[in-house]
Amino acid sequence: MVSAPGLEKQADAFLSPLRSVPSYQDDDEDPGLSKPGDFKEKQVFKGGMLLWLAYQSIGVIYGDIGTSPLYVYSSTFSDAPSRQDLLGVLSIILWSLFMMVTVKYVLIVLYADNGGEGGTFSMYSLLSRYMNITNRDPREASLVQMKRHPTIDLERASKYARHSLESSPFARRLLQVMGVLAVTMVIADGVLTPAQSVLGAVQGIQVVSPDISRSTVIGVTDAILVVLFFIQPLGITKLTFAFSPIVIIWLGMNAVFGIYNLAKYDAGVFVALNPGLAFSFLTRHGEQGWRMLSGTLLAFTGVEALFADLGAFSRGAVQISWLCYTFPCLLLAYVGQAAYISVHPEAYSNPFFNCAPPGTVYPALVFAILAAIVASQAIITATFQLLNQVMKLSYFPQFKVIHTSKIFHHQLFIPLANWLLMLGTIIVASVYKNTTALGNAYGVCVMFVTFFDTCMVSLAGMFVWRISPLIIILPFLVIASLDGTYLSSSLTKVPTGAWVTIVIAMVLALIFLLWRYGKEQQWFAEAEDRFPTSHFVTKESSPGETGSSTLLRLSDRFGGGEIGSMKGLTVFFDKAGETTPIVFSQFLLKFTVLPEVIVFLHLRPREEPSVPAEDRFSVSSLSIPNAYRLVVRYGYNDEIMTADLAAAVTGQIRDYLSQRSSAETLPAAAEEEGSQSSSTLSRTSHGGATETALDRLDRAYAHNVVYIMGKEQMKISPKTNIIRRVVLWVFLWIRENTRGKMSSLALPADRVVEVGFLKEI
């Protein structure tokens, strides 16, 4: 890992105006290869762009929370409530929206983003940058911007807590499992959310036409779900042109209905703003009141998606859209429904449609269905965001990710996840058949995620924001008590359906953790090849007729044999990192031959549409003669693997050598006659004539260009115990069936060579 001061030095060196010529050194490590843009940076939006994002966020984030008025009261009460009980439940709903959404998430948790990305897993990633709690892929470790605060800057209690967490394998593993479970539980609830919201809206048809059959309701629901998932490739920005007006009108309709019912029926329900009514309801009903909390929590389900969707928008946009519009509309919606139900208690069974003013049922039905379709967007987008995070941190194999916006870098689409979610939601909607049955399976995972978020943000407060634990403890206890109360209540639904989401989440979590374990074992197995080239090769001076030349041998630890040569230019690929590609180490040690000119090509993706030409390439020399390292930075819209890649690579090396030669020749001209410029070190003897590095490069390129890629096969060590053997076997099976194929590369087929080698794990 790279320390924060080290990163600052790298950035200063890169930005220094005195460096008009690319830096180089005859070694494998070149500080100039890391640039500030290589680290993930948060996009910042202001003014009109921020308001545009806030507008978009309404159409995506609040569909789930915004459609909860369709079924909260019906999910909480099992028969017509008394006015006293109604006010108690209303008080619980209002204060839950305030404490769980506004205070906890909008005003606190949203600040615990990791480079603009949200979700519990992003908070775990944030903590791992400020604490030594995780292993990293050695190829990408230097690309993680560590910001660990010096121990002296922490308070005594925080020092002890951080030391305890970092030194405890159990604590580190627990944080990892919490982060992974939070992802899988959001995804598990994501299978239910579209079915719950769309089915809840379509059921409104039965209010207008009670004779409509259940099979018709299910058929319409499934058709809507299919359309919803088929339009996902359009991307968030395009979808919100239709979605945002729908949600804005829907929320406004709820607010207007609420005002109407308050004015006509019972404005006295505003007394529910007194939190004492909530406590009175719970103490009066005891265990039954505690169980009923599993219905009221549906008022803020979707809050986990609100945080997970943060990367697609921004903190400011989410805060504006919630505080200035969504929150007030929802308050009026629930208060207005309570005003109507207090006069018509039987209306609780279908609160929104029963409370609609005369003549508005049909428009309300249309917008309820449209809003319910949009409601699913929050969890779908959150699934894409979270899967992208776990793939980047090696918890899941790499699948195709499509960025759908050139302006907003974190708006993306994952085809495989989209189609699997579609299949899952259709099955769930068809099996459960009504929102009451779905409600039994809904909410448990949400409460687990919110509790995990409470724990993670408390740690972030101590170790990232350096807030005193004494200040954190009271808010933590208050919020954790609310989480625990709701969580314990929702767990009562496990036998009646909630076990489905828990099982889905557990299976996905096992897959993620299994993959991560396998990747870590792979990194350990590859460690012996992750050394500078000087670890494998030694140079000796050999006298000849035309002067001394350099003789290359393997280092003593690898037998010390002489290394032969082969004509042409060879490009060794490496996915990331800045050290010796494993395929080169294997090639050299097995064949003991070096190409005439060697290029280590490191591909470094950036989270932006395109990288400017002047920032795209960085070149450095290696300790091996005529060997270079080329780092290629590219955005998600840039095309790197092209048929003319060899020309681009050679052109960059040529420019580098030309600039280097010019930089060395200028001071040499001022030396006394007879002195030797360092530029002569780049000249070698070839056929009795003096040849420069540029000449050799051109000659090698003209002869032949070969791209060499590694195909690493792995086998399980015979000494491995049976449990570990099974885990690694599953990892290797998944790895073999998900790895990329050479045939998909846009490179000339006759120039690509795949070198296979075996590693034992």
State how far the Cα of 629 lies from the Cα of 622, in Å rounded to an integer.
7
Q: Is residue 561 part of a domain?
A: yes
DSSP 393: T
Q: Are residues 509 and 534 in the same domain?
A: no
Residue 412 contacts by C-beta under 8 Å, 6 or more apart in sequence? Answer: 312, 384, 385, 388, 401, 402, 403, 404
Among the ranges given (113-122, 403-412, 421-430, 680-689), the one the predictor scored with the smallest mean pLDDT: 680-689
Is 673 inside any structural domain? no
CB proximity list for 749: less than 8 A, separation 6 or greater: none
Which range has highest mean pLDDT (246-250, 624-628, 645-649)? 246-250
Pair (509, 540) in one structural domain? no
- Please report whether residue 569 resides in a domain: yes
Where is pLDDT greater, at 8 or 320?
A: 320
Whether 145 and 261 map to the same domain: the answer is: yes
**Coil, helix or strand at residue 676:** coil
Residues 538 and 464 in one domain: no
The confidence score (pLDDT) of residue 257 equals 95
Same domain flag for 438 and 571:
no
- The answer to whether position 251 is within a domain reads yes
The reported pLDDT for the residue numbered 211 is: 73
- Shared domain for 562 and 588, answered yes or no, is yes
Confidence at residue 440, expressed as pLDDT on a 0 to 100 scale: 65
Q: Which of 144-158, 424-438, 511-525 has the lowest mean pLDDT?
A: 424-438
Question: What stretch of H or E contains 120?
Answer: helix 120-130
Last residue of a domain, which of 513, 541, 558? 513
Q: What is the mean pLDDT of the chain?
A: 82
Write the pLDDT tens digit of every residue in 544-557: 554 556 778 888 77
H helix runs in 527-592, sequence order: 582-591
What integer pLDDT is reported at residue 690 of this predicted model? Answer: 58
pLDDT score, position 283: 93
Confidence of residue 320 (pLDDT cuts 50, 70, 90): very high
> Does the residue 4 lie in any domain?
no
End residue of a domain, out of 513, 538, 558: 513
Indicate the range of 121-125, 275-279, 362-366 predicted with least confidence: 362-366
- Say how far apart CA 23 and CA 20 lie, in whole Å: 9
* CATH assignment at residue 419: 1.20.1740.10
Q: Which of 318-327, 557-566, 631-640, 739-748 has the lowest mean pLDDT?
A: 739-748
Q: Are residues 537 and 508 in the same domain?
A: no
pLDDT in tens, 410-468: 788 899 889 988 888 888 878 776 666 666 667 788 899 999 999 999 999 999 999 99
Q: Which residue has the higher pLDDT, 696 or 526?
A: 696
Looking at 469, 485, 513, the residue that finishes a domain is: 513
C-beta separation of 244 from 55 below 8 A: yes
Residue of 683 and 331 predicted with greater confidence: 331
Q: Is the pLDDT of residue 22 over 80?
A: no
Indicate whether 497 and 535 sit together in one domain. Answer: no
Selected residue with higher pLDDT from 324 and 394: 324
Write the DSSP symbol of residue 407.
S
Return d(Cα 327, Cα 331) in angstroms, integer: 6
Task: Name the pLDDT band for 677 (thresholds 50, 70, 90).
Answer: very low
Please give the backbone phi and psi of residue 689, each rounded to the nearest 5 degrees, phi first: -115, 155
Q: Are residues 119 and 237 in the same domain?
A: yes
* CA gap 742, 728 in Å, rounded: 25
Q: How far apart are CA 6 and CA 19, in angstroms?
A: 18
What pTM, to 2 d.p., does this model score? 0.83
List b or e across 192-210, with b for residues whose CB sees 16 or more CB atoms inside 10 angstroms: bbbbbbbbbbbbbbbbeee
Say if strands 593-605 and 564-574 run parallel, antiparallel, or are unpaired.
parallel
540: β partners: 551
Residue with tokens 């759908």: 404
Local confidence band at 78 (pLDDT 50, 70, 90 cut-offs) = confident
Q: Which long-range contacts (CB under 8 A, 24 or more apart) does 548-556 make?
A: 549/684, 549/685, 550/625, 550/684, 552/594, 552/624, 552/625, 554/588, 554/589, 554/592
Domain count, the chain: 2
Q: What is the per-residue pLDDT for 637?
A: 82
Residues of the domain holding 609:
530-663+683-760
578 close to 602: Cβ distance less than 8 angstroms: yes
Residue-wise pLDDT for 298-312, tens only, equals: 899 888 888 988 888
Q: Do 346 and 427 have their domain in common?
A: yes
The 10s digit of each residue's pLDDT in 325-362 is: 999 999 999 999 999 999 999 998 888 888 989 888 88
Q: Which pLDDT value is given to residue 544? A: 54
In-domain check, residue 605: yes
- The answer to whether 230 and 212 have CB atoms below 8 angstroms apart is no
Residue 584 and residue 503 in one domain: no
pLDDT average, residue stretch 361-388: 85
Q: Is the pLDDT of residue 540 over 50?
A: yes
DSSP 581: -
- Residue 284 pLDDT > 90: yes
Report how far residue 279's alpha carbon sits from residue 526's, in angstroms, rounded to the nearest whole number. 59
DSSP at 576: S
Q: Is residue 29 part of a domain?
A: no
The helix/strand/coil state of 595 is: strand
State mean pLDDT over 151-155: 85
Q: Kindly state the tokens that stand for 301.
A: 């389900």
27-66 pLDDT per residue, tens? 444 444 556 556 666 777 788 889 999 999 998 899 888 8
Query: For 113, phi and psi rounded to 5 degrees?
Result: -85, 160
Task: Supply the angle between the helices 156-167 and 444-463 in degrees, to the nearest 10.
Answer: 120
* pLDDT above 80: residue 8: no
For the record, the structure tokens of 345 come out as 């208690």
Q: Which helix (H) or strand (E) holds 570?
A: strand 564-574
How many angstroms separate the Cα of 19 from the Cα of each of 14, 26, 233, 620?
8, 18, 44, 14
3-state secondary structure of 694: helix
153, part of any domain: yes
Q: Answer with the residue of higher pLDDT: 144 or 589.
A: 589
Residue 491 has pLDDT above 60, yes or no: yes
pLDDT of residue 330: 96
Do 582 and 442 have their domain in common?
A: no
The secondary element (H helix, E strand) that includes residue 749 is none
pLDDT band at 542 (very low <50, low <70, confident <90, very high): low
Lowest mean pLDDT among 17-31, 180-194, 596-610: 17-31
pLDDT score for 337? 95
d(C-alpha 553, C-alpha 12), whole Å = 38
| pLDDT at residue 12 greater than cutoff 60 | no
pLDDT at 393: 86
CB-CB contact of 501 with 444 (8 Å): yes
Task: Give me the pLDDT at residue 7, please.
Answer: 33
Q: Which of 15-29, 157-171, 608-622, 740-754 has the lowest mean pLDDT?
A: 15-29
String of DSSP letters for 219-265: HHHHHHHHHHHHTGGG-HHHHHHHHHHHHHHHHHHHHHHHHHHHHHT
pLDDT tier, 269 (very low <50, low <70, confident <90, very high otherwise): very high
Which range, of 86-95, 546-555, 565-574, 716-725, averages the lowest pLDDT? 546-555
Residue 508's pLDDT is what?
92
> Of the given ranges (229-238, 245-254, 385-394, 546-555), which has the lowest mean pLDDT?
546-555
3-state DSSP call for residue 690?
Answer: strand
Sign of CA dihedral 15, 18, 21, 22: negative
